[in-house]
Amino acid sequence: MQRLQTITATSDANCILKGLPRDLHPYIYSFIEDEVKVHYWMAKYNWEDTLYELGEYYNEFHLIESYFKYVHNTPISKEEFFMKRNIYREKDKWRNTSGRITHVTWSWNDDNCDYVKLFQGLANTIYVQSESQDDIGGLYKYLSYLITLYNDMECD
């Protein structure tokens, strides 16, 4: 027989929340689950070190770019964040055999980027964003993505 696990408020919780009937605790938790997990992960992980370790194993640029994929309400735009850290746009022209340009693609060039400083800046941005609780849903998705990558890295 399977036993159901009920989520209840701990002794550290607000007295109003603890005073509510226990049947409501899981319902209320469903609304604040993202915030609770982000708060827990911010205390558990040192994000600067974690980002650095992930950068050694995975593509460093992808870790930074995925932040802007998941977190939409950011304090700085993606382009401004990259430009301040020596990541710049590069235009590639594709030509056919007669020399005519067939199409143009834009990519980011990170040859001159200092990823140690970049990860410090991103970690600070994550800490500030979690404190201000700005776009917690996006931050939750990004941090869960990083934790998944970290766990996959440890399994190899």
What pLDDT digit, counting tens, does each position of 111-120 carry?
888 888 888 8
Vertex 127 angle, CA 27 and 40, to 5°? 35
Specify the DSSP class assigned to residue 7: P
**pLDDT, average across residues 56-64:** 86
pLDDT band at residue 12 under the 50/70/90 scheme: low
Nearest to 126 by CA among 58, 34, 39: 39
Query: What residues have CB less than 8 Å from 42, skipping those under 6 apart?
Result: 126, 127, 130
Q: How far is it, in rounded angstroms, from Cα 152 to Cα 78?
A: 27
pLDDT score, position 17: 66
CB 135 within 8 A of CB 74: yes
Q: Is 71 helix (H, G, I), strand (E, B) or coil?
A: coil
pLDDT score, position 4: 44
> How many CB atoms within 10 Å of residue 138?
19
pLDDT band at residue 142 under the 50/70/90 scheme: very high
Q: How far is it, in rounded angstroms, from Cα 10 to Cα 147?
A: 25
